[in-house]
């Protein structure tokens, strides 16, 4: 990519329009050196004398000059940015992934562009187009379910693409996550082994949320395998979103629609928290009358009474691992070598609730 607009000379003149008021020329004037020397001191400090470096640094500090990395990055064909798309910024899972990405990328000079997509591939496609248009050096996505056009744009962008938080689907490039279906399958099977006989799945079930559907599939596999003949039951929050309130609703729903249920397998800790609070407030014995499980092991899980049996998912590690794969690939300016698929696993956390 060539440098389409070289600015330095005109910068002083255009300062009324420019987004940056202090120019290289002003720094040079204050330091009593040429603009070229300032530029050299900032880009290749090893090429100027110690004394010049100190003089320039003082002038930079006292003027508050900030070197324009955009022009520099455009010239070097790197933006030093990574684009990350998550469904929302509310769920601990996604903000944990971003946190892991940020803490690994930032010390390496890369910064995060963050966008939210809802759980919907259509707005995601729009965001992908806008993000790729900013020429990031890498991109991180949630899940492997995208529109056909989004997949096409991503495969043709010659940058590493990391999809996260799932192991299912066909990855575009690299994939880092854990198996949502295995997590719920193993959890449900282990509770069936403990004696629960009539489990019901609870979640927010929609076509567009692939990870929720993977969890439902894991539940179905456990029931089919371990409890042949047992009907597959689920309760759906419909439009209540992911909230404790929605969990309370799910608890009431299961009592009304499937009173034979002795175990409520929730697709998220948030629902499980609400369900436990609802059952307890109604004087229903958890896990005596009905057990409850979650997924996420959020902050509240161990403090609930009864404490919550759940799955600890490696969210922050997913962010860190994605960042590490990206850093390696971006250093060599290539797609990730050999399409890394990294399974970070999960842990079943057995507590009082089931």
Distances (CA, A) of 266 to 86, 212, 224, 336: 22, 10, 18, 35
| Number of residues in contact with a second copy under rule CB under 8 A | 91
Q: Is 67 in the site for a second copy (CB under 8 A)?
A: yes
The secondary structure element, H or E, covering residue 104 is helix 92-105
Distances (CA, A) of 130 to 76, 98, 134: 21, 19, 7
**Cα torsion 121, 126, 131, 132: sign:** positive
Q: What residues numbered 159-188 form the site for a second copy, per CB under 8 A?
A: 159, 170-173
Q: Is 338 in the site for a second copy (CB under 8 A)?
A: no
Residues 6+ apart with CB under 8 A from 122: 147
Q: Is 44 in the site for a second copy (CB under 8 A)?
A: no
Minimum distance between the CB of residue 55 and a second copy, rounded to whole angstroms?
Answer: 18
Q: Is 58 in the site for a second copy (CB under 8 A)?
A: no
Q: What residues numbered 242-261 form the site for a second copy, per CB under 8 A?
A: 243-245, 248
CA distance 290 to 276: 10
Minimum distance between the CB of residue 51 and a second copy, rounded to whole angstroms?
Answer: 22
Minimum distance between the CB of residue 190 and a second copy, rounded to whole angstroms?
Answer: 26
Q: Is 108 in the site for a second copy (CB under 8 A)?
A: no
Q: What residues numbered 273-312 form the site for a second copy, per CB under 8 A?
A: 273-274, 277, 280-281, 299-300, 303, 305
Q: Is 272 in the site for a second copy (CB under 8 A)?
A: no
Minimum distance between the CB of residue 159 and a second copy, rounded to whole angstroms?
Answer: 5
Q: Is 220 in the site for a second copy (CB under 8 A)?
A: no
| Site map 79..98 versus a second copy, x via CB under 8 A | x-x------xxx-x--xx-x
Q: Is 102 in the site for a second copy (CB under 8 A)?
A: yes
Report strand pairing: 310-312 vs 347-349: antiparallel
Minimum distance between the CB of residue 45 and a second copy, rounded to whole angstroms?
Answer: 16
Q: Which is nearer to a second copy, 221 or 317 (CB)?
A: 317
Burial class (CB in 10 A: 0-12, 13-18, 19+), 217: middle
For 150, how many CA atoms within 13 A lie in the half-sphere containing its CB? 24
Contact status, residue 97 vs residue 165, Cβ threshold 8 Å: yes
Minimum distance between the CB of residue 129 and a second copy, rounded to whole angstroms?
Answer: 6
CA distance 234 to 199: 9
Q: Is 193 in the site for a second copy (CB under 8 A)?
A: no
Q: Is 262 in the site for a second copy (CB under 8 A)?
A: no
Contact status, residue 260 vs residue 198, Cβ threshold 8 Å: yes
The correct pick among 17, 46, 207, 239 for binding a second copy (CB under 8 A) is: 17
């Amino acid at each position: 990519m060539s440098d389409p607009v070289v600015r330095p000379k005109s910068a002083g003149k255009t300062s009324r329009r420019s987004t940056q008021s202090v120019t290289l020329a002003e720094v040079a004037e204050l330091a009593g050196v040429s603009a070229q020397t300032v530029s050299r001191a900032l880009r290749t400090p090893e090429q100027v004398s110690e004394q010049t470096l100190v003089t320039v640094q003082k002038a930079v500090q006292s003027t508050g000059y900030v070197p324009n990395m955009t022009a520099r990055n455009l010239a070097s064909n790197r933006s030093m940015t990574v684009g990350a798309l998550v469904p929302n910024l509310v769920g601990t899972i996604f903000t944990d992934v971003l946190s892991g990405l940020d803490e690994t990328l930032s010390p390496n000079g890369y910064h995060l562009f963050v966008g939210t997509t809802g759980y919907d591939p259509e707005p995601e496609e729009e965001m992908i187009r806008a993000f790729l248009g900013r020429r990031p050096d890498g991109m991180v996505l949630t899940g492997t379910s995208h529109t056909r056009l989004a997949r096409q744009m991503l495969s043709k962008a010659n940058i590493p693409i990391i999809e996260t938080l799932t192991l299912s689907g066909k990855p575009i490039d690299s994939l880092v996550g854990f198996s949502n279906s295995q997590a719920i399958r193993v959890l449900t099977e282990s509770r069936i082994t403990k004696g629960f006989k009539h489990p019901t799945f609870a979640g927010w079930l929609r076509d567009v949320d692939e990870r929720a559907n993977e969890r439902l599939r894991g539940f179905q596999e456990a029931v089919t395998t371990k409890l042949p003949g047992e009907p597959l039951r689920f309760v759906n929050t419909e439009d209540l979103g992911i909230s404790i309130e929605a969990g309370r609703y799910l608890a009431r729903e299961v009592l009304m629609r499937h009173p034979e249920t002795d175990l409520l397998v929730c697709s998220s800790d948030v629902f499980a928290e609400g369900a436990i609070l609802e059952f307890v407030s109604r004087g229903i014995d958890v896990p005596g009358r009905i057990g409850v499980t979650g997924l996420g092991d959020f902050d509240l899980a161990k403090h609930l009474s009864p404490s919550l049996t759940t799955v600890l998912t490696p969210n922050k590690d997913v962010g860190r691992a994605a960042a590490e794969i990206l850093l390696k690939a971006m250093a060599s300016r290539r797609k990730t070598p050999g399409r890394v698929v990294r399974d970070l696993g999960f842990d079943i956390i057995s507590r009082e609730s089931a």
